[in-house]
Amino acid sequence: MKQTTLIGRILLGALYISITVAILAAVMRAPSPKNPYQSKVFLAGVEIMVAIADTPHQREKGLSGYKALEPNEGMLFIFPEPGFHGFWMRDMLFPIDIIWFDENRRIVDAWENASPASFPQIYTPRAPSQFVLEVPAGFFVNHALNVGDTIEILR
């Protein structure tokens, strides 16, 4: 009887440890809300840490509610199809540059220094785009970007 109890306790302990390890592994893989940057892109030789917005809800929310971006941080919007994807500044707290890329990841248009006060204006590109990068205001000019420059997306 004592041996059965001992084996039961050992098995229960092993189960507890296994569950704890599984939970810790899952938590460590999940992106932290304080660090939403899950990927990086390279543009004009500059590495930019980006949060990815690839669902309708994420694309609608965008950077709304963010307090600021560091110089090499941004949000990359990924659309399933190229189109004239418009952007607004609803609930934004700081100005940004909006850069549109086609399906070949080439810049097709940019809007510099979009202001939070511009809402409800909608910024749309002059050509269809499939990817859009929002970065701190001044990024486009500070890095001498041009239409036709390409972005490398690492996921």
Domain locations in the chain? Answer: 1-30, 39-154
- Angstrom CA distances, 95 to 39, 88, 109, 139, 152, stand at 22, 11, 17, 11, 24
101-144 pLDDT, tens digit each: 999 999 999 999 999 999 889 999 999 999 999 999 999 999 99
Looking at the DSSP bridge assignments, the partners of residue 129 are 83
pLDDT of residue 25: 45
- Report the DSSP pairing between strands 96-101 and 129-136: antiparallel
Hey, which bits of the chain come out as E strands? 39-43, 46-53, 73-83, 96-101, 107-114, 129-136, 151-154
Percent of the chain with pLDDT over 90: 70
Please give the class, per CATH, of domain 39-154: mainly beta
